[in-house]
């Protein structure tokens, strides 16, 4: 309890009941002010007309002003300019009606100049006749809360802008069930919001059979990956899409998926494939008759002892052979795409096949030597031409990409289950990040030194497909500047049933 000088004096001078009463009242007031100064809120009092009368210590410290400075309308200076109009209007309303007042505004810290948000409340204090004699007001610091709310509002605004995107379909998935979807996704798939709310949108039910396994894998592994798939729309039609799933929670699985309509790209790809297939067929026929004509004319010239002319004609055979190989590869790629690459079944002496391929390649590329280590000493059942195509491709690549390293090595080894044939060069090598990509259709390494080497990125794609059809595997080990080793592993088991299994005559 705090005693003022006046209280002590009164107590000494008049020790009567009035003095005791006054003293008691004063003591109570002093105690009240002490409490009001101690609480972590701002407290102030206003006259009935709203002019400032008193503020607690906490408020005076924060605004760094004395009560005198806050008197009258001095307090307005500590308000954030953007809050003036609203605050004055609300205040005016309360003063006129006597209604309690509540408002959020920013007060300036008198020392730092920074503003913080406060929630202010004011109540009128009335006398026995109901007249307002004072206004009591408090303000609580709600700055943290306000800022959190603002961050949340901004992130909700961003999320809602994203959700309303009319380009990307967005769905929220719980387990297999789609629990929310934006209009774009509903439009893409033909479903309605009623379907969604009625639980009629299930990811697995909406996925075409070919993509069930990969969709299931994405849902169970809960990884963030982008993949292609097809949805079954409500009317049963198929929609080709690109999906990127982002997991949110582990149990039960919740995630967001962004879905992009991929049908235009797929259609374009199909048209490109159709064009390649048609163009390679159209080119192959006249080229075959051109080759036959050249051979015929060459034979006639030789019969007439016009050897120089026959020799000159031979010179066009090499570029025509290159053109032929290119067109054949294009045809093969088209066939692979359509799942129509034929394989014949015959018994193959692997060592003889490799020997032939090596001999041919050495004749064609005099600058390189191919050394074979080991032998298979076994026969395989499969398509001889296709197997030759594998090693011709690997050896011609080894030669092409090793202009300054003339030694090419071939290792042949067998185990009880596999025969492994490796082709090793000591040339340019392939950067690690491209090791998988080089087996993709039309992929070429982007290294400038390799760019100078002619090629179209079909060889390894065809090689990988043939090896796959044999039930085998192809791997690459390579280091830039040191060379590459391509290893083909073929299983030694009963003949594998290949596509169509036609028997070569």
3-state class (DSSP) for residue 75? helix
322 cis-preceded (ω within 30 degrees of 0): no
Q: How far is the CB of 330 from ligand ADP (least distance, A)?
A: 12
Stretch that binds ligand ADP, among 117-125, 226-234, 293-301, 437-445 (CB under 6 A): 437-445
- CB closer to ligand ADP, 170 vs 445: 445
Residue nearest to ligand ADP (CB): 455
**Which residues face 304 on adjacent strands?**
none
Among 427, 465, 474, 498, binds ligand ADP (CB under 6 A): 427
- Written as six digits, the tokens of 467 are 């090896």
CA separation (Å) from 504 to 122, 206, 374, 384, 385? 100, 44, 29, 10, 11
3-state class (DSSP) for residue 421? strand
- The C-alpha atoms of residue 23 and residue 36 are separated, in whole angstroms, by 20
- CB closer to ligand ADP, 279 vs 290: 279
Q: Is 425 in the site for ligand ADP (CB under 6 A)?
A: yes
Q: How far is the CB of 174 from ligand ADP (least distance, A)?
A: 44
- Written as six digits, the tokens of 229 are 């798939």
Q: How far is the CB of 208 from ligand ADP (least distance, A)?
A: 30
- Written as six digits, the tokens of 1 are 């309890």
Containing H/E element for 119? strand 115-126
CB of 171 closer than 8 Å to CB of 178: yes
- Written as six digits, the tokens of 52 are 């400032």
3-state class (DSSP) for residue 100? coil
Q: How far is the CB of 326 from ligand ADP (least distance, A)?
A: 9
Q: Is 120 in the site for ligand ADP (CB under 6 A)?
A: no
- CB closer to ligand ADP, 361 vs 398: 398
Of residues 34-53, those binding ligand ADP (CB under 6 A): none
The number of C-alpha atoms within 13 Å of 368 and in the hemisphere containing its C-beta is 29
Stretch that binds ligand ADP, among 104-112, 159-167, 268-276, 420-428 (CB under 6 A): 420-428
- Written as six digits, the tokens of 409 are 């090595």
Among 331, 438, 474, 498, binds ligand ADP (CB under 6 A): 438
DSSP string, 287-335: HHHHHHHHHHHHHHHHHTT-HHHHHHHHTTHHHHHHHHHHHHHHHHHHH
Stretch that binds ligand ADP, among 122-130, 151-159, 309-317, 438-446 (CB under 6 A): 438-446
Q: Is 334 in the site for ligand ADP (CB under 6 A)?
A: no
- The C-alpha atoms of residue 196 and residue 175 are separated, in whole angstroms, by 15
Q: Is 186 in the site for ligand ADP (CB under 6 A)?
A: no
Cβ neighbours, 10 Å, residue 133: 11
- CB closer to ligand ADP, 171 vs 408: 408
- CB closer to ligand ADP, 301 vs 458: 458
Residues in contact with ligand ADP, shown as a per-residue x/- string from 371 to 400 under the rule CB under 6 A: --------------------------xx--
Q: Is 330 in the site for ligand ADP (CB under 6 A)?
A: no
Of residues 444-473, those binding ligand ADP (CB under 6 A): 444-445, 450, 455-461
CB of 495 closer than 8 Å to CB of 345: yes
Q: How far is the CB of 245 from ligand ADP (least distance, A)?
A: 31
Q: Is 240 in the site for ligand ADP (CB under 6 A)?
A: no
3-state class (DSSP) for residue 409? strand
Q: Is 422 in the site for ligand ADP (CB under 6 A)?
A: no
The candidate with the shortest Cα–Cα distance to 331, out of 281, 390, 386, is: 281
Q: Is 336 in the site for ligand ADP (CB under 6 A)?
A: no
Residues in contact with ligand ADP by CB under 6 A are 397-398, 401, 425, 427-430, 438, 443-445, 450, 455-461, 484
């Amino acid at each position: 309890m705090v005693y003022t000088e006046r209280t002590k004096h009164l107590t000494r001078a008049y020790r009567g009941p009035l003095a005791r009463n006054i003293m008691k009242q004063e003591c109570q007031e002093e105690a009240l002010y002490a409490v009001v100064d101690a609480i972590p809120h701002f407290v102030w009092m206003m006259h009935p007309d709203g002019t400032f009368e008193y503020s607690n210590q906490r408020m005076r410290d924060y605004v760094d002003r004395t009560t005198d400075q806050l008197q009258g309308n001095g307090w307005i200076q500590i308000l954030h300019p953007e809050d003036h109009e609203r605050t004055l209007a609300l205040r005016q309303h309360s003063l006129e009606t006597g209604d309690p007042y509540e408002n959020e505004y920013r007060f300036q810290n008198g020392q730092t100049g920074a503003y913080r948000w406060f929630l202010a409340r004011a109540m009128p204090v009335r006398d026995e006749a109901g007249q307002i004699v004072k206004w009591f007001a408090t303000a609580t610091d709600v700055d943290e809360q306000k800022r959190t709310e603002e961050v949340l509002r901004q992130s909700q605004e961003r999320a809602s802008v994203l959700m309303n995107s009319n380009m990307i379909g967005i769905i929220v998935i719980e387990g297999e069930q789609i629990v929310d979807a934006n209009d774009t996704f509903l439009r893409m798939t033909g479903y309605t919001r009623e379907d969604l709310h009625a639980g009629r949108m299930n990811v697995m039910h909406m996925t075409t059979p070919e993509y069930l396994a990969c969709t299931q894998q994405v849902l169970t592994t809960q990884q963030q990956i982008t993949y292609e798939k097809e949805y079954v729309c409500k009317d049963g039609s198929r929609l080709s899409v690109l999906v990127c799933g982002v997991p949110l929670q582990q149990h039960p699985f919740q995630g967001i998926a962004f879905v992009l309509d991929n049908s235009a790209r797929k259609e374009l790809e199909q048209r490109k494939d159709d064009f390649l297939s048609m163009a390679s067929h159209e080119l192959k026929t006249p080229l075959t008759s051109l080759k036959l004509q050249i051979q015929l004319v060459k034979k006639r010239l030789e019969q007439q002892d016009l050897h120089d002319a026959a020799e000159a004609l031979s010179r066009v055979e090499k570029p025509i052979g290159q053109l032929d190989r290119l067109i054949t590869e294009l045809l093969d790629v088209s066939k692979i795409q359509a799942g129509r690459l034929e394989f014949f079944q015959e018994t193959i002496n692997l060592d003889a096949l490799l020997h032939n391929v090596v001999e041919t390649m050495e004749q064609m590329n005099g600058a390189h030597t191919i050394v074979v280590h080991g032998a298979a000493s076994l026969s395989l059942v499969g398509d001889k031409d296709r197997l030759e195509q594998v090693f011709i491709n690997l050896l011609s690549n080894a030669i092409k990409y090793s202009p300054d390293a003339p030694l090419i090595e071939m290792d042949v080894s067998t185990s009880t289950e596999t025969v492994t044939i490796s082709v090793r060069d000591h040339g340019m090598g392939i950067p690690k990040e491209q090791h998988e990509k080089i087996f993709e259709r039309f992929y070429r390494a982007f290294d400038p030194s390799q760019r100078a080497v002619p090629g179209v990125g079909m060889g390894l794609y065809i090689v990988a497909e043939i090896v796959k059809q044999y039930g085998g595997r192809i791997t690459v080990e390579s280091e830039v500047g040191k060379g590459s080793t391509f290893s083909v592993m073929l299983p030694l088991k009963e003949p594998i049933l290949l596509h169509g299994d036609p028997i070569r005559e």
